[in-house]
Protein backbone atom coordinates (compact mmCIF):
# COMPACT_ATOMS: atom_id res chain seq x y z
CA UNK A 1 0.00 0.00 0.00
CA UNK A 2 1.28 3.47 -0.96
CA UNK A 3 1.34 6.17 1.71
CA UNK A 4 -1.36 8.85 1.38
CA UNK A 5 0.19 12.25 0.66
CA UNK A 6 -1.06 15.45 2.19
CA UNK A 7 -1.09 17.33 5.47
CA UNK A 8 -2.47 14.35 7.41
CA UNK A 9 -0.41 11.67 5.74
CA UNK A 10 1.37 11.04 9.05
CA UNK A 11 -1.90 10.07 10.70
CA UNK A 12 -3.21 8.04 7.77
CA UNK A 13 -0.15 5.82 7.60
CA UNK A 14 -1.20 2.58 9.39
CA UNK A 15 2.38 1.78 10.44
CA UNK A 16 2.85 5.15 12.13
CA UNK A 17 -0.55 5.18 13.86
CA UNK A 18 0.34 2.23 15.94
CA UNK A 19 3.90 3.29 16.63
CA UNK A 20 4.97 5.85 19.21
CA UNK A 21 6.60 9.10 18.11
CA UNK A 22 10.36 9.07 18.05
CA UNK A 23 12.55 11.41 20.13
CA UNK A 24 12.85 14.07 17.33
CA UNK A 25 9.10 14.26 16.93
CA UNK A 26 8.55 14.60 20.67
CA UNK A 27 11.07 17.46 20.80
CA UNK A 28 9.42 19.13 17.81
CA UNK A 29 5.96 18.83 19.43
CA UNK A 30 7.33 20.23 22.69
CA UNK A 31 8.93 23.17 20.84
CA UNK A 32 5.72 23.90 18.96
CA UNK A 33 3.66 23.77 22.15
CA UNK A 34 6.01 26.24 23.83
CA UNK A 35 5.85 28.51 20.79
CA UNK A 36 2.03 28.39 20.81
CA UNK A 37 1.95 29.20 24.54
CA UNK A 38 4.36 32.12 24.00
CA UNK A 39 2.18 33.42 21.11
CA UNK A 40 -0.97 33.21 23.23
CA UNK A 41 0.70 35.10 26.10
CA UNK A 42 1.81 37.81 23.66
CA UNK A 43 -1.71 37.98 22.22
CA UNK A 44 -3.22 38.33 25.72
CA UNK A 45 -0.70 41.06 26.58
CA UNK A 46 -1.47 42.91 23.34
CA UNK A 47 -5.20 42.64 23.99
CA UNK A 48 -4.69 44.03 27.51
CA UNK A 49 -2.55 46.82 26.13
CA UNK A 50 -5.13 47.65 23.41
CA UNK A 51 -7.91 47.60 26.02
CA UNK A 52 -5.89 50.02 28.11
CA UNK A 53 -5.32 52.26 25.07
CA UNK A 54 -9.02 52.17 24.18
CA UNK A 55 -9.90 53.10 27.76
CA UNK A 56 -7.39 55.96 27.63
CA UNK A 57 -9.02 57.20 24.40
CA UNK A 58 -12.45 57.11 26.03
CA UNK A 59 -11.10 58.94 29.07
CA UNK A 60 -9.57 61.62 26.83
CA UNK A 61 -12.86 62.05 24.97
CA UNK A 62 -14.67 62.48 28.29
CA UNK A 63 -12.07 65.02 29.40
CA UNK A 64 -12.52 66.93 26.13
CA UNK A 65 -16.27 66.95 26.65
CA UNK A 66 -15.83 68.07 30.27
CA UNK A 67 -13.46 70.89 29.35
CA UNK A 68 -15.54 72.33 26.55
CA UNK A 69 -18.55 70.20 27.28
CA UNK A 70 -21.50 72.53 27.23
CA UNK A 71 -20.11 74.69 24.48
CA UNK A 72 -18.92 71.71 22.44
CA UNK A 73 -22.22 69.91 22.85
CA UNK A 74 -24.10 73.06 21.86
CA UNK A 75 -21.93 73.47 18.78
CA UNK A 76 -22.32 69.77 17.96
CA UNK A 77 -26.07 70.14 18.35
CA UNK A 78 -26.06 73.17 16.03
CA UNK A 79 -23.97 71.29 13.46
CA UNK A 80 -26.34 68.32 13.65
CA UNK A 81 -29.32 70.67 13.30
CA UNK A 82 -27.76 72.35 10.27
CA UNK A 83 -27.01 68.94 8.73
CA UNK A 84 -30.62 67.88 9.24
CA UNK A 85 -31.83 71.18 7.79
CA UNK A 86 -29.53 70.75 4.77
CA UNK A 87 -30.78 67.20 4.21
CA UNK A 88 -34.40 68.40 4.33
CA UNK A 89 -33.66 71.29 1.98
CA UNK A 90 -31.76 68.99 -0.39
CA UNK A 91 -34.77 66.67 -0.43
CA UNK A 92 -37.01 69.67 -1.21
CA UNK A 93 -34.66 70.76 -4.01
CA UNK A 94 -34.63 67.26 -5.45
CA UNK A 95 -38.43 67.06 -5.35
CA UNK A 96 -38.69 70.53 -6.90
CA UNK A 97 -36.30 69.53 -9.69
CA UNK A 98 -38.37 66.41 -10.37
CA UNK A 99 -41.57 68.51 -10.45
CA UNK A 100 -39.87 71.06 -12.71
CA UNK A 101 -38.77 68.36 -15.15
CA UNK A 102 -42.28 66.88 -15.14
CA UNK A 103 -43.83 70.33 -15.65
CA UNK A 104 -41.48 71.00 -18.58
CA UNK A 105 -42.38 67.68 -20.19
CA UNK A 106 -46.09 68.37 -19.65
CA UNK A 107 -45.65 71.87 -21.06
CA UNK A 108 -43.95 70.50 -24.17
CA UNK A 109 -46.67 67.88 -24.56
CA UNK A 110 -49.43 70.48 -24.16
CA UNK A 111 -47.66 72.86 -26.56
CA UNK A 112 -47.55 70.12 -29.20
CA UNK A 113 -51.20 69.30 -28.52
CA UNK A 114 -52.13 72.99 -28.73
CA UNK A 115 -50.25 73.34 -32.02
CA UNK A 116 -52.01 70.29 -33.44
CA UNK A 117 -55.38 71.62 -32.25
CA UNK A 118 -54.68 75.04 -33.77
CA UNK A 119 -53.87 73.37 -37.10
CA UNK A 120 -57.09 71.36 -36.85
CA UNK A 121 -58.98 74.58 -36.00
CA UNK A 122 -57.52 76.35 -39.04
CA UNK A 123 -58.53 73.42 -41.25
CA UNK A 124 -62.01 73.42 -39.70
CA UNK A 125 -62.27 77.18 -40.18
CA UNK A 126 -61.39 76.81 -43.85
CA UNK A 127 -63.99 74.05 -44.24
CA UNK A 128 -66.54 76.23 -42.40
CA UNK A 129 -65.82 79.16 -44.72
CA UNK A 130 -66.26 76.90 -47.75
CA UNK A 131 -69.52 75.58 -46.33
CA UNK A 132 -70.73 79.12 -45.61
CA UNK A 133 -69.89 80.15 -49.19
CA UNK A 134 -71.74 77.10 -50.49
CA UNK A 135 -74.66 77.91 -48.18
CA UNK A 136 -74.77 81.48 -49.54
CA UNK A 137 -74.83 80.07 -53.10
CA UNK A 138 -77.57 77.61 -52.14
CA UNK A 139 -79.56 80.41 -50.45
CA UNK A 140 -79.17 82.51 -53.58
CA UNK A 141 -80.32 79.56 -55.67
CA UNK A 142 -83.22 78.96 -53.27
CA UNK A 143 -84.16 82.64 -53.49
CA UNK A 144 -84.17 82.38 -57.29
CA UNK A 145 -86.21 79.20 -57.17
CA UNK A 146 -88.56 80.81 -54.65
CA UNK A 147 -89.08 83.75 -57.01
CA UNK A 148 -89.78 81.31 -59.82
CA UNK A 149 -92.18 79.38 -57.60
CA UNK A 150 -93.89 82.62 -56.53
CA UNK A 151 -94.18 83.70 -60.19
CA UNK A 152 -95.51 80.26 -61.11
CA UNK A 153 -98.01 80.44 -58.23
CA UNK A 154 -99.09 83.87 -59.39
CA UNK A 155 -99.55 82.58 -62.96
CA UNK A 156 -101.36 79.54 -61.56
CA UNK A 157 -103.71 81.76 -59.54
CA UNK A 158 -104.30 83.97 -62.58
CA UNK A 159 -104.92 80.90 -64.75
CA UNK A 160 -107.20 79.47 -62.08
CA UNK A 161 -109.17 82.69 -61.88
CA UNK A 162 -109.39 82.77 -65.67
CA UNK A 163 -110.43 79.12 -65.71
CA UNK A 164 -113.15 79.79 -63.15
CA UNK A 165 -114.38 82.72 -65.21
CA UNK A 166 -114.43 80.53 -68.31
CA UNK A 167 -116.20 77.78 -66.40
CA UNK A 168 -118.79 80.21 -65.08
CA UNK A 169 -119.35 81.50 -68.61
CA UNK A 170 -119.54 77.94 -69.90
CA UNK A 171 -122.03 77.02 -67.17
CA UNK A 172 -124.17 79.99 -68.17
CA UNK A 173 -124.05 79.04 -71.83
CA UNK A 174 -124.77 75.44 -70.96
CA UNK A 175 -127.76 76.55 -68.94
CA UNK A 176 -128.98 78.67 -71.82
CA UNK A 177 -128.49 75.78 -74.17
CA UNK A 178 -130.57 73.52 -71.96
CA UNK A 179 -133.32 76.04 -71.67
CA UNK A 180 -133.27 76.52 -75.43
CA UNK A 181 -133.54 72.78 -75.98
CA UNK A 182 -136.42 72.59 -73.55
CA UNK A 183 -138.16 75.25 -75.47
CA UNK A 184 -137.38 73.49 -78.71
CA UNK A 185 -138.65 70.21 -77.46
CA UNK A 186 -141.78 71.80 -76.22
CA UNK A 187 -142.47 73.53 -79.49
Contact status, residue 160 vs residue 152, Cβ threshold 8 Å? no
d(CA 130, CA 126): 6
Query: pTM, whole model, 2 decimals?
Result: 0.34
DSSP codes of every residue in 90-133:
HHHHHHHHHHHHHHHHHHHHHHHHHHHHHHHHHHHHHHHHHHHH
Q: Strand, helix or coil at 59?
A: helix
pLDDT of 126 strictly over 90: yes
State residue 41 phi and psi, 5-degree precision: -65, -45
Spell out where the chain has E strands: none
Are 64 and 72 a contacting pair, CB within 8 Å? yes
pLDDT score at 2: 46
Helix (H) or strand (E) holding 54: helix 23-67
Backbone angles phi, psi at 7, to 5 degrees: -65, -25
CA angle 134–138–142, rounded 5-degree value: 170
In the chain, what are the domain boundaries?
A: 1-67
CA-CA-CA-CA torsion for 85, 88, 92, 94, nearest 10 degrees? 110
Is residue 97 pLDDT above 90, yes or no?
A: yes
Residue 99 pLDDT = 94
pLDDT digits (tens, 9 = 90+) for 28-80: 888 889 988 988 988 888 888 888 888 988 888 777 767 666 677 777 788 88
Distance in angstroms (rounded) separating the CA atoms of residues 173 and 179: 10
Q: What average pLDDT score do residues 137-163 get?
A: 91
* Side-chain-facing half-sphere of 107: CA atoms under 13 Å: 6
Reported as type and span, the H/E element at residue 169 is helix 69-186
Amino acid sequence: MLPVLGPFSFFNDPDRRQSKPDQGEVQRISALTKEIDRGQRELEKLMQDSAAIEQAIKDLQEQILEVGGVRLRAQKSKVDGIRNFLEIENDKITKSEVHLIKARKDSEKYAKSLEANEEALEASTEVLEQLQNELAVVRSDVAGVQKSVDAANARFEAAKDELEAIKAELDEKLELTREFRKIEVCV
